[in-house]
Each structure stands twice: as structure tokens, then as C-alpha cells.
Structure 1
Amino acid sequence: MPGIINWDELWKATHAGGFHHHGRDGQDLASHWDSKARGFNKRVMKNPARATNQVATLGLLSHETVLDVGAGTGRLAIPMARIARSVTALDQSKGMLACLEENMAKEGIENIRTIQKSWEELAEGEIELHDVVLSSNSLGVLNLRESLAKMDSMAKRAVYIFTFADRRRDDGFADFLRGGKRARHHFGGPADYLVIYNLLADMGIFADIKIMNWQSSEHYSSLDEAVAEWKEMHEIPAEREPELREFLSGKLTESDQGLCMHRHHKQAMISWQKDQPASEH
């Protein structure tokens, strides 16, 4: 039975304006990610060790199938496909899935099926049930309760949701993008993982939460390369390039590969097992 707080409505209120892309060019969200796919792929595929470690926490078995919701360019789909029998990669961006298929070819992976569709558009029963359903930083949905219920109904063994646990995960870059102003939709709301967890409890799903600390290093041959990459990915206007250059200069350090940015953040893994009988004492 729902408690005093309506977590689904709180999710909508604290994410107002965040479910669609409002770029200068008027693109919808899928088109936005189509245009950013190449640059995004270059960034996220730089650190395969982190993806491998993340996948290791899932306990996948060789006979299992996985549904990767918002799979992007395959950061997790590819290492999961090396373990599981098959992976279904769902994403609304044609450009993202094109990069995923190229990454598959490079890695010799053949057991990933791609479907171009958003999670909200996918109807229950449209595809078969999977042993594991996974969402990693991809719950950009308006109706959270409905989306969580669908994940639960489409999983035979377990559901895993990865989401950021701290809002300072970008070492101040989001504040830079906003000119030092805090995001409006962050006022007064708890961290996303707490909303998800409490909504699941209201739905009668008693999930586990594990907070993980991740560290990674991003390498650039020069400051110019770093500025160009960040400028493109975040659609920073030309007039702010000097500010961006100054910001990145303070974050980059010398390395044997040129320049390096050390990044760290906390991530929450919310998970629940299906059809697990209670233990008798």
C-alpha cells in the first residue's frame, strides 16, 4: 500500500523538463543522441575495465539471456555477451545502435540483437522474457512506476538498475555548464536511487541497494583535443570555449599518454531477484 509520499509523482516533479531534449536545434531525444553517438561512443568505450567489473557484479550465467534497456553503443552489452547466451540491446537512437553494431564487429561478437525503440514504446509481450533485465543510467522515463513494473514482468531471474548516487559525479562540470547555478529540477528532491528504491517498496518489490565507488581515467593527446571533445558532446557555444579551456586545464594532469583526467563517482546498483522462496527457520 502506498505511503504518505507518492514516489512516482515526486519523480515526475523533480525531473520536470528532463525527459526530452531541448537543444538549440529543436531535436527530439532520439535525434539528439543520433548526432552525439560517435563522440559518445569514443568516450564511453575508453575504459573497458570498468565495464567488465560492472558486469561481474551481475553474476551472469552462460545459459542466460539479458535485456539491456537503453544499451547505447554497447558499453555493457558487449562484455555481457561474452558471458551470457544472448543479449537484446534496446535503444531509441539509430546512431547509438549503429555504433554498437560496429563495436560488435570489431570484437567478433555475434550474439547481440539490436532493437531501435524506447523502453516506454516497447509493449509487454512484444519480445520474449529474458533471464535478466538491466538498465544502466538509462531511466529517462516519465512514468517510473510503469517502467519498473515492466522490467519486473519481463525478467525471469533478476533486474539490475544502475544509477548515479551522487550529484557531484562530474567533478563540478554540471555546475560549469549552468554557469555555477544548481539545476532547478534538483531542488528539494532526494537522490534518484532513493526514489526508485522507495517506489519499488510501495510496489511490493523489496530490492537490494549496493553503493559502489568507481574511478576512471580519460586520456587526451592535447588540451585542444579535450576541449573539442567536451565542446561537441555538451553543445557548448563558441563564446564559452575560453571558459571550457580554463575549466579543463584545471582538471587535466600530465601523463605518459599526454593529458589525463581522473574521474570518480558513486553509483547505486538496485537489484531484486525473482521467484525466490522465503527461507524457513
Structure 2
Amino acid sequence: MRRIIDYNELWKLSVSRRPSFFEDEADPGSVWDMRADNYVESGEGNYSNTLKEVELLNLSSGDTVLDVGAGTGRLTVPIAEKVSFVTAVDPSARMLYYLRQNMIKAGLKNARCIQKRWEDVCLKRDFDLHDVVISAYSMGYYDAEWALDKLNRASRRDVYIFWFAGERIKEKIRAYIAEEKGVRYIRSPHYPDYICLLNVLHDMGIFADVKIIENEWVYKYNSIEEAVSSAVVNKVISGDEKVYAKKYYSDLLEESSGSYYMKETTKQALISWRK
């Protein structure tokens, strides 16, 4: 049947409208190197979300798992506690440094790190196929169909993708700043949510399952200024919007024992299929 909508082309159009997309895509390792320290410091209170996500995976003690876009090992480490071996792929040297440190802290030795973009990985040459393949909030590719196909080909059995469902956290601060400026709020271009990926898979002949989960994220900062700097580093706001962001965080952050905390509840989707 002829497609009425080509969802992969819709994905490409959406992501190409993001102001920094092609700059970030050219060297994602450097981009995440710059964000790594901030990522670790501000997100250390989210382990309960990680455990919830790991429990949703069908894992056995003899499994091998490929974690694509592994970052600091948020999922790699607790998964390594449950399976035979994990391969973690990420373009950022700094992120993988933290992953290795987290493995050491956990007393685990059954994981290896490969510093490469997913685009540059050669299946069956860089590593063998794995029983389970996971991509957690790492589908930041221009061509979703290509990335999904490669994830599928890398797996012997199951593929799991965590992705966003509905409004992102950053939209709230963007709306606030627009109101303070007295201008019309226009949603910033970003990746489509899970429903687009689901339709891309459908067009590929992969009929995936979907589970919507709700997570509460806790962000910790040493000061309001650090929260503002974090928003700049992560390209949520521009440098000339700091004064608005400082007011936003002053009203929102809760102080406790000299630290500042922000809590946000968001919905995510777990897309999965068995080969």
C-alpha cells in the first residue's frame, strides 16, 4: 500500500530544523564531552528511574547486551549486574570515562567500552551480534530508519528503545522566557516523540510493542547560577537569556542543605520488539 505519510522523511525534516543539529551531528563526541561533568553532577538523584527501566527489560544471566549511546553507564552498570557481558558504545570519551569509573565502583568487570559514533560502528567487525540491544534516549540521528535498521541487525533476539513521549522539560523554561520577554512562544524545533519512531518501524515491517512510563527526575545544583550555566551548556537557553533563567530557577528550585533541587515528572516510551 502506498504511504500517505513518509514518517522517516518527517523525522528528517523535524531534526534538520534544530538550530544546532548538523553542528552537533558532525562531532557528537566533543558535544557530550563538554556536557559530561554537568550531566553527572546534576542528575545523581535519578537512580530509581534507572532501576524501573532495567526491570522492564527481559534479561537473563547468560545474555550479552549492547548499549548504544551508553553515556556514563546509567543503564550499563545495573544491566551488567544481571547479564553475562555488556558492550557500551558512545562517541564521548568523557562519558565513557565516567562509565568505567562507575563499573569500578560497582566491582564489575564484564563490560567493555567502544568510543565510536553509531554511524561509524561496523557490525561483526567491531563486535559480534548481541542477544539484546538497547538505545536509551539516544536516537538523535538524522535518518531514523537507518539507525533503527542497524539496531535491529545488531540484535539476535530483543531490541529496546527508550524515547520521549510528549512535552520535554526544556519547553517549560522556553515558554517562561517568552512570556517574560512579552513575545509569542514558539516551540523550539526538536526530535519528534515516540509515535514517529513507532510509525517508522511500522513502515519497515517491524510491529513493535509500546509501554508508556512516568519518571520523576531530580536535578541537583550547588547554586542557582550553576542551574543557569547548565541550561546554557545544554543549549536549552542562549547566553543572553541568563537573566530570565535566573529568575525562573529562583522561583522553581528548592534549597536543602546548601544544594538546590528541581523535580520534574515526564512521560517516556519504551518501544520494543523481538526478532
Q: Do they fold alike, i.e. is TM over 0.5?
A: yes
1:4-33 deviations in whole A, cap 9, x for unaligned? 21111111011114474648xx98322111
Give the Cα separation in 2 of the matches to 1:98 and 1:169.
27
Give matches, 1:87-106, under 5 Å. 87-106=86-105
Does residue 73 (structure 1) correspond to residue 78 (structure 2)? The answer is no
Local SS of the residue matching 2:248: helix
What is residue 141 of structure 2 aligned with on the other side? 141
In 2 relative to 1, CA 82–196 (structure 1 residues): closer, same or farther, beyond 3 Å? same
Q: Please say which of residues 223-232 and 33-42 is displaced more in the overlay.
A: 223-232
Considering only aligned residues, what root-mean-square deviation do their CA atoms show, in Å? Answer: 2.6
Q: Please say which of residues 205-214 and 140-149 is displaced more in the overlay.
A: 140-149
Local SS of the residue matching 1:62: coil
Unaligned ranges ≥5, structure 1: 275-281
In 2 relative to 1, CA 131–2 (structure 1 residues): closer, same or farther, beyond 3 Å? farther
What is residue 162 of structure 1 aligned with on the other side? 162
Shift of 1:130: 0.6
Give matches, 1:1-281, under 5 Å. 3-18=3-18, 20=21, 22=23, 28-126=27-125, 127-170=127-170, 172-175=172-175, 180-184=185-189, 191-234=192-235, 239-255=240-256, 258-274=259-275
1:230-257 deviations in whole A, cap 9, x for unaligned? 4444485654332221011121124467
Q: CA contact under 8 A between 2:8 and 2:144: conserved in structure 1?
A: yes
Q: Please say which of residues 255-264 and 2-11 is displaced more in the overlay.
A: 255-264
State percent identity of aligned pairs.
38
Aligned length: 268
Local SS of the residue matching 1:140: coil
Q: Please say which of residues 149-158 and 129-138 is displaced more in the overlay.
A: 149-158
Which TM-score applies when normalising by structure 2?
Answer: 0.87
1:52-95 deviations in whole A, cap 9, x for unaligned? 11111102111111101100111111111111111110011111
In 2 relative to 1, CA 185–253 (structure 1 residues): closer, same or farther, beyond 3 Å? closer
- The structure that is helix-richer by fraction is 2
Which TM-score applies when normalising by structure 1?
Answer: 0.85
Q: CA contact under 8 A between 1:45 and 1:75: conserved in structure 2?
A: no
Shift of 1:270: 0.4
1:205-264 deviations in whole A, cap 9, x for unaligned? 110011111113233454344344444444856543322210111211244674321111
In 2 relative to 1, CA 106–21 (structure 1 residues): closer, same or farther, beyond 3 Å? farther
In 2 relative to 1, CA 229–71 (structure 1 residues): closer, same or farther, beyond 3 Å? same
